[in-house]
Chains A and B, each alone.
Chain A
Amino acid sequence: MLTNIQETITPKRLTDLFEKNRRLLFRDDTAVLSAIREKAFASFSKLGFPDTSLESWRLTDLQESFSRGYDYHLQPAAEVDVQKVFRCNIPHLDTAIIGQLNGWYVSKDVPLMELGNGIIMGSLAEARKKYPALVEKYYGTVANDAIDGFTALNTAFAQDGVFIYVPDDVKSPRPVQLINVIHDDRNLFLQSRNLIVVGANAKLSLVHCDDSYNHQASFSNIVTEIHVGEHALLEHYKLQNLNNNSTLVSTVCFNLEASASLESHYISLNGGLLRNNIRVLFNGPHGNANIYGIYLMDGKQHTDNQVFVDHASPDCTSNETFKGILDEHARAIFNGHVLVRRNSTKTDARQSNKNILLTDTARVNSKPFLEIYNDDVKCSHGSTTGQLDQESMFYLRQRGIGEETARMLLMFAFADEIVSKIAIPQLRQRIEDMVKKRLQGELQICEQCVLHCSSPEHPVDFKIDLGKI
Chain B
Amino acid sequence: MESEANKILDEVTQGDYKYGFVTDIDTEFAPTGLSESTIRYISAKKNEPDFMLEFRLKAYRHWLTMTQPKWAHLNIAPINFQEIIFYAAPKKKKEVSSLDEVDPELLATFNKLGISLDEQKKLAGVTSVAVDAVIDSVSVKTTFSETLSKHGIIFCSFSEAVQNHPDLVRQYMGSVVPYTDNYFAALNSAVFSDGSFCFIPKGVRCPMELSTYFRINAANTGQFERTLIVAEEGAYVSYMEGCTAPQRDENQLHAAIVEIVAMKDAEVKYSTVQNWYPGDKNGLGGIYNFVTKRGICKGSNSKISWTQVETGSAITWKYPSCILLGDNSVGEFYSVAVTNNYQQADTGTKMMHLGKNTRSTIISKGISAGNSNNSYRGLVRISKNALNSRNYSQCDSLLLGARCGAHTYPYIQVDNKSSIVEHEATTSKISEDQLFYCQQRGISAESAIGLIVNGYAKEVLKQLPMEFAVEAQKLLSISLEGSVG
Contacts and interface: CB of A to CB of B under 8 A. Distances in A.
Interface of A: 55, 342, 345, 355, 357-387
Nearest to B374: A372
Contacts, number: 122
Contacts of B424: 380-383
Contacts of B411: 365-367
8 contacts: A363-B413, A364-B412, A365-B414, A367-B412, A368-B408, A376-B402, A383-B410, A386-B422
Contacts of A375: 399-402, 404, 429, 485
A2 to B, nearest CB: 42
Contact of B413 (A359, A364, A368, A384): A364
A342 B403 contact: yes
A384 B422 contact: yes
A8 B40 CA distance: 52
A384 B380 CA distance: 12
A363 B415 CA distance: 4
B425 interface: yes
Q: Which 5 A-B pairs have the closest CB atoms?
A: A375-B399, A386-B420, A357-B417, A379-B427, A366-B412
B206 interface: no
Given A369-B409, A372-B405, A372-B407, A381 B417 contact: no
A365 B381 CA distance: 9
Nearest to B413: A365
B412 A374 contact: no
B418 interface: yes
B424 to A, nearest CB: 4
A369 to B, nearest CB: 5
A357 B421 CA distance: 11
Contacts of A358: 417
B397 interface: yes
B428 A368 contact: no
B14 to A, nearest CB: 17
B71 interface: yes
B402 A381 contact: no
Contacts of B401: 375
B416 interface: yes
B397 A372 contact: yes
Which size class do B's interface residues fall under?
35 or more
Which one of B400, B417, B423, B485 has the highest number of Cβ atoms from chain A below 10 Å of its Cβ? Answer: B417
Contacts of A379: 426-428
Interface of B: 71, 73, 384, 387, 397, 399-429, 485
A362 B417 contact: yes
A361 B387 CA distance: 12
Nearest to B418: A387
A381 B411 CA distance: 12
A373 B73 CA distance: 13
B427 A370 contact: yes
Given A364-B414, A367-B410, 5 more contacts: A55-B71, A363-B415, A370-B427, A372-B397, A382-B422
A382 B412 CA distance: 11
A166 to B, nearest CB: 36
A362 B419 CA distance: 12
Contacts of B429: 375-377
A377 B399 contact: yes
Contact of A363 (B414, B420, B425): B414
Nearest to B430: A375
A361 B408 CA distance: 28
Contacts of A359: 417
Contacts of B428: 377-379
Nearest to A345: B402
Contact of A365 (B404, B412, B417, B419): B412
Contacts of A367: 409-412
Nearest to B419: A386
Contact of A360 (B406, B417, B426): B417
Contacts of B415: 360, 363-364
A370 B407 contact: yes
Contact of B423 (A368, A373, A374): A368
B417 A382 contact: no
B369 to A, nearest CB: 9
A360 B415 CA distance: 6
Given A55-B71, A364-B413, A375-B400, A385 B407 contact: no
A370 B412 contact: no
B452 to A, nearest CB: 14
Contacts of B405: 371-373
Nearest to A343: B402
Given A55-B71, A375-B429, A386-B420, A381 B408 contact: yes
B425 A370 contact: yes
Contacts of B406: 370, 372
B427 A372 contact: yes
B342 to A, nearest CB: 14
Nearest to B417: A357
A360 B418 contact: yes
A68 to B, nearest CB: 27
A440 B384 CA distance: 25
B414 A385 contact: yes
A365 B424 CA distance: 15
B71 A386 contact: no
A342 to B, nearest CB: 7
Nearest to A368: B410
Nearest to B390: A386
A399 to B, nearest CB: 25
Contact of B425 (A357, A371, A373, A381): A381
A210 B387 CA distance: 37
A212 to B, nearest CB: 29
Given A371-B405, A372-B406, A376-B429, A387 B414 contact: no
A378 B405 CA distance: 13
Nearest to B401: A375
A364 B410 CA distance: 13
B50 to A, nearest CB: 39
A84 B405 CA distance: 56
Contacts of A381: 408, 410, 423-425
Contacts of B397: 370, 372
B417 A374 contact: no
Contact of B420 (A55, A368, A377, A387): A387
Contacts of A355: 414
A385 B412 contact: yes
A357 B416 contact: yes
Contacts of B407: 369-372
A107 to B, nearest CB: 46
A360 B384 contact: yes
A56 to B, nearest CB: 13
B348 to A, nearest CB: 12
Contacts of A376: 402, 429, 485
